[in-house]
Amino acid sequence: MIAGPGCGKVHHGPAVLFTTLLLAMPEARSGPGYDTLAGQWPSYGGDLANSRYAPLDQVNRDTIQDLKLAWVWNSPDDALKPQLKASLDRFKATPLMVDGVLYVRSSLSIALAIDAETGNTLWGFNSQSYKWGRPASYGYTTRGLAYWKAAAEQRLFLATGDAKLFALDPRTGTAIKTFGKDGFVDLSQGLHRSIKGLERMMNYSGPPVVCRDVVIIGSIIGDGMGHFRGKKVPTDMPPGDVRAYDVRTGKLRWRFNTIPQAGEAGVETWENESWKWVGGCNVWSIMSADEALGYVYLPVTAPSSNYYGGFRPGDNRYGQSLVCVDVRTGKRVWHFQTVHHPVWDMDLPAAPNLVDIEVDGKRIKAVAQVSKTGFTYVFDRVTGEPVWPIEERPVATDGVPGERLAKTQPFPSKPPAFDRQGISDDDLLDFTPGIKAEARKLVSQYRVGPLFTPLTEKGTLILPGIGGGGDWPGAAFDPGSGMLYVPSKTVPTLISLIKQGPKSPWPIKYREEVSFPRVRGMPVVKPPWGRITAIDLNRGEIAWQRANSDGLRHLKSLKALKLPPTGNAHKFNLMVTKSLLFSPISGRGVFDPDGSPAPSRLRALDKESGEVIWQHPLTPSYNGGGPMSYLWKGRQYIVVPTGGGNQTSHLVAFRLKRKGDPELTGKLPAAPVRRELPTEVKGTVSASEAAGFKVYQARCMGCHTIGNGPLLGPDLLGSHTKPVEVLTAMTRLMRLTRNVEISDEEVKQVVDFLRREDAPALLYAK
């Protein structure tokens, strides 16, 4: 990326540095900054659209129709599925590109090198971390790698699901034995308190970030109370410390305690000495670093529990805060807390955007942080001063007994929120009078109100929901125009606090239940349910906003209503170039004008309006990984991760077709083929299985079986091998959000039915 003055080192990770300089550099390639040593624009590793700017212009309005498939790379994860004790997760990793080689981390923590021109695998490093098992927090989710180079030295950093940080030789894919012990550092060690016996609760899905001579790593910890079932006290949650290691030796250089400890500033905001034992406050997303300043920016998330904090009174400093740390010492430079005493899961879920902007004639080195609240918080990244005033406004505090909510919360005066906040009657779904009546009836059971409405025992419906507003895809920044492009979704979340009795296996006064209320399969609020917002950061104003897709407007049952685009609420990333805005989009919940289900697509949009000007199908389904672009041998490539989970995992590459080129041989992988469904019923059918068949037919198959309407939940028939776990998790949600009453006995019967190999034959028998 950019070499800092006098440091002679290269920073790699998810930050975009000095974006005003990018346009002036010759033969700009891809990613967040220019690596003067590698001579590339290596895209940083991650799932992100964090300041995702590729200052390339081969692919533009005039040439976009010549953008064709170049190659498809197949992940080795798929061959390992039979060895796994749990299902594989969606593939979301974005590669790095250095010297004609793409480096990527697979969902199973395998590091791989891929020829940037052909898509052929050059080497793979497999630590076999998947044999350790699936981490409890976000499982086999992956985001990326980090790269570092100085003079003749270069290293690739890989964090694995079993808590190891490896340093690899990018040329050979072998571990560098002088780093740590035998090439890796044990990340279960070096925290401010032991996590012995609880290692599985931590995961390392986010990429490390390298700045100057240190590699910095956060972690992901499930911060709800679900992990505590059967535990004695909530001290069992690991802490979310951020650590930095020497890039050469692996020696721990510093640790930043995201929950202040004795003698540290802010410890007084953790009353009742809760700082001694509360966990969480991790950086599960992606950090950004400014090489010249020597600062790293940490988007810190919530402490445990995510929804009830009666046992940790006070503002809980660093919880859901943007924290600027000196990369040499690990000392705090400045911080800003976006939610005081966090209990709504309104995390800072994305990499901070490092941007240079001009406000009222003044040039500012700024940092812009999108949030699940729907706000973009913009600061001077040197001093931490807000670019526009952020006001403390009174909010309601009448939550459950024992909870002590903050009396005020911060509200940025600029830019405006990029997504809807709070719920009123005017926000409810109203396609028809009947739908509006159903929405009112459903919502009347719960508490609703503005942003930061307290959580309650009867349930509080919050918007933005726990998936944002903004989420880990972050935002893409265009330094030429000062425009920040933000993907977001609008899906309310119902959070109910369940009071616990003295004999409860849960260790705290209240545990949470979380669901997503729907009316006739649709979110309970008006669309669009997914959107793109363009924010002018020079003015602090929204330039344009539009739905991210047609969504359900062409669904046969809705087509007569002539709806505008409704958008779909699945994660998607953005990448901006000198002339276009690229957006892969999932086809889930999207229908084409002829009423058929839409495939996932890679799309090119007009930057000034959001109009789609080109699109190409992506199969298997796009699942939210960040696209990247690079220039190699004079040709621009665009690469998108797809698949994962029950589908195969791929990188799909596009490039401009030139006159005289041989016919491109790469082919998109076919849509996933469901296993061959049996057509004959074999053996006797028990009373329980027969009853489960009837329940499934009456209440489940309309939303959970391909071919019976829009697939609005897991495809249970013929694809899931663990119906017990799936149905147990879904039972409460169905009762709360779909008004589907299903008893525990009926759940058992449905499970018995689904366990039959010939369940499809039973279902479709004539």
pLDDT tens for each residue of 639-686: 999 988 878 899 999 999 887 776 665 567 665 444 455 667 888 889
Q: Which pTM value belongs to this model?
A: 0.85
Q: Which CATH code of 3.90.550.10, 2.140.10.10, 3.10.50.40, 2.60.40.10 fits the domain covering 19-656?
A: 2.140.10.10
Helices 687-699 and 744-754 meet at what angle, rounded to 10? 100
Question: Does 175 score more than 60 pLDDT?
Answer: yes
Buried b (16+ CB within 10 A) or exposed e, 75-91: bebbebeeeeeebbbbb
Domain boundaries, the chain: 19-656, 687-764
**Rg of the chain (C-alpha set):** 25
pLDDT over 60 (residue 32)? no
* Contact predicate 394/408, CB 8 Å: yes
Can you give the three-state secondary structure of 586-610, one letter per residue?
CCCCCECCCCCECCEEEEEEECCCC
Would you state the structure tokens that stand for residue 129, as one six-digit string?
């971390």
Average pLDDT, the chain: 84
What is the full DSSP assignment across 264-290? STTGGGSTTTGGGT--B----S--EEE
- Quote the strand ranges of 67-133, DSSP E: 67-74, 96-98, 101-105, 110-115, 121-126
pLDDT the model gives residue 23: 24
Q: What is the separation of C-alpha 361 from the centre of its chain, rounded to a whole number of angstroms?
A: 35
Checking if the pLDDT of 454 tops 80, the result is yes
**Higher pLDDT pick, 759 / 408:** 408
pLDDT value of residue 670: 63
Q: What is the pLDDT of residue 73?
A: 93
Residue type, 460: T
29: CB partners within 8 A, 6+ apart: 40, 41, 54, 56, 97, 629, 630, 631
Model confidence over 311-339: pLDDT tens digits?
A: 999 999 999 999 999 999 999 999 999 99
DSSP, collapsed to helix, strand or coil, labels residue 78 as helix
Helix (H, G, I), strand (E, B), or coil: what is residue 477? Answer: strand
pLDDT value of residue 703: 65
- C-alpha to C-alpha distance for 162 and 188, rounded to whole angstroms: 9
Band the pLDDT of 58: cuts 50, 70, 90.
very high
Q: What is the pLDDT of residue 51?
A: 53
pLDDT tens per residue, range 177-213: 999 999 999 999 999 998 887 787 888 988 999 999 9
Query: What number of residues does the chain have?
Result: 766
How far is Cα of residue 242 from the mean position of the Cα atoms in its chain? Answer: 19
Sign of CA dihedral 109, 114, 118, 122: negative
Rounded-to-integer distance, Cα 311 and Cα 237, Å:
14
Residue 10: pLDDT band with limits 50, 70, 90: very low
The tens digit of pLDDT for each residue in 706-757 reads: 444 444 555 566 544 555 655 655 665 565 545 567 787 888 888 888 888 7
Q: What is the dihedral of CA 538, 539, 540, 543, to 10 degrees?
A: -100
Q: In the Cβ-directed half-sphere of 714, how many Cα atoms lie within 13 Å?
A: 20
Separation between Cα atoms, residue 716 and residue 731, nearest integer Å: 13
User: Angle CA(147)–CA(151)–CA(153) in degrees, nearest 5?
Assistant: 50
Tokens 């003295």 belong to which residue? 502
Could you give the CA distance from residue 84 to residue 528 in angstroms, rounded to a whole number? Answer: 38
In this structure, how many other beta carbons lie within 10 angstroms of the beta carbon of residue 189? Answer: 12
Question: Do residues 638 and 59 touch, judged by C-beta distance below 8 A?
Answer: yes
For the chain, percent of residues with pLDDT exceeding 70: 83
Strand-strand pairing, 220-221 and 202-203 = antiparallel
